[in-house]
């Protein structure tokens, strides 16, 4: 095969990425820190409040002060079905979720046991990606639980569920939920990406046609 024919095949390989090294995957980023949070309700004693916005403030260990606690508590006497929903702001690729229970400082009268974590693109239709529970030890020691997942969504929702929704059973709550992944990497190419791909495919076709003509002339 002539040198110019080899060069043509090399050009094809370069366009389609044959023999090239894989692009490294970007390290997962913390997507949820201080993102907007909604919930089914929160405990408000007047002098003390435990809003759902506490679940992604980056503070753990049931820390804080009467006007600035780090954890969420649902209204007194509520448990099953109570939830918090973090809005990531865009449909992101999610690779892991870390959650930490609350035991209401040292009172041990509130906390979640059985729970689910679900994702949604529209805050209406949710898909459950984690079904799990905090053990009694997790609850007492505020142990972080990490779930490696492969999902995408804008909204991430933590919900206390049956059959045993709570420890302490004064109500449920959560200290922190951290969502990790890649911002804006939902797996659907952006319009500009599609355009580049189409240009690339067009280039592949042109180079391959040229290569075939050169091969034919070389063999003639």
Largest CA distance in the chain: 92
Mean pLDDT of 184-195: 53
pLDDT for the residue numbered 201: 42
Q: Are residues 215 and 143 in the same domain?
A: no
Give CA angle at 127 (173, 98), nearest 5°.
45
pLDDT at 121 over 80: yes
39 closest CA partner among 87, 101, 84, 86: 84
Q: Are residues 178 and 193 in the same domain?
A: no
Q: Are residues 107 and 175 in the same domain?
A: yes
Q: What is the dihedral of CA 105, 119, 115, 107, to 10 degrees?
A: 10
CB proximity list for 149: less than 8 A, separation 6 or greater = 94, 95, 96, 97, 129, 130
Rounded Cα distance between 218 and 212, Å, is 10
Q: Are residues 12 and 97 in the same domain?
A: no
Q: Are residues 156 and 209 in the same domain?
A: no
pLDDT at 195 over 50: no
What are the tens digits of pLDDT across the range 158-179? 999 999 999 999 999 999 999 9
Q: Are residues 74 and 48 in the same domain?
A: yes
pLDDT at 194 over 50: no
Q: Which two tokens stand for residue 57?
A: 């403030």
Of 80-84, 129-133, 194-198, the one with minimum mean pLDDT is 194-198
- The domain containing residue 206 runs over which residues? 3-24+189-219
Indicate the number of domains in the chain: 2
pLDDT at 86 over 90: yes
Token pair 């972080």 is found at 144
SS3 214: helix
Rounded Cα distance between 150 and 182, Å, is 11
Q: Are residues 48 and 92 in the same domain?
A: yes
SS3 32: coil
Q: Are residues 143 and 193 in the same domain?
A: no
pTM of the model: 0.75
What are the tens digits of pLDDT across the range 73-85? 999 999 999 999 9
For residue 134, the 8-state DSSP code is: -
Q: Are residues 75 and 173 in the same domain?
A: yes
Q: Are residues 173 and 195 in the same domain?
A: no
SS3 153: strand
Work out the pLDDT band at 11, boundaries 50, 70, 90. very low
For residue 110, the domain's CATH number is: 2.60.120.260
Q: Are residues 55 and 125 in the same domain?
A: yes
Exposed/middle/buried for residue 28 (C-beta within 10 Å: 0-12, 13-18, 19+): middle
Q: Are residues 82 and 9 in the same domain?
A: no
pLDDT for the residue numbered 46: 87
């Amino acid at each position: 095969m002539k040198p110019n024919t080899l060069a043509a095949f090399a050009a094809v390989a370069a366009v389609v990425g044959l023999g090239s090294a894989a692009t490294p995957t970007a390290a997962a980023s913390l997507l949820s820190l201080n993102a907007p949070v909604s919930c089914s309700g929160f405990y408000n004693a007047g002098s003390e409040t435990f809003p759902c916005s506490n679940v992604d403030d980056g503070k753990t260990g049931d820390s804080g002060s009467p006007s600035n606690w780090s954890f969420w508590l649902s209204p007194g006497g509520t448990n099953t079905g109570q939830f918090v929903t973090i809005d990531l702001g865009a449909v992101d690729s999610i690779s892991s979720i870390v959650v930490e229970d609350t035991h209401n400082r040292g009172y041990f009268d509130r906390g979640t046991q059985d729970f689910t974590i679900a994702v949604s693109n529209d805050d209406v239709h949710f898909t459950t990606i984690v079904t799990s529970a905090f053990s009694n030890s997790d609850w007492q020691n505020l142990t972080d639980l990490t779930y490696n997942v492969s999902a995408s969504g804008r909204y991430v929702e933590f919900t206390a569920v049956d059959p045993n929704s709570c420890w302490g059973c004064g109500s449920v709550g959560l200290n922190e939920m951290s969502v990790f992944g890649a911002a804006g990497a939902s797996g659907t190419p952006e319009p500009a990406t599609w355009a580049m791909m189409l240009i690339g495919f067009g280039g592949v076709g042109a180079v391959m046609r040229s290569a075939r003509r050169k091969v034919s002339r070389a063999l003639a």
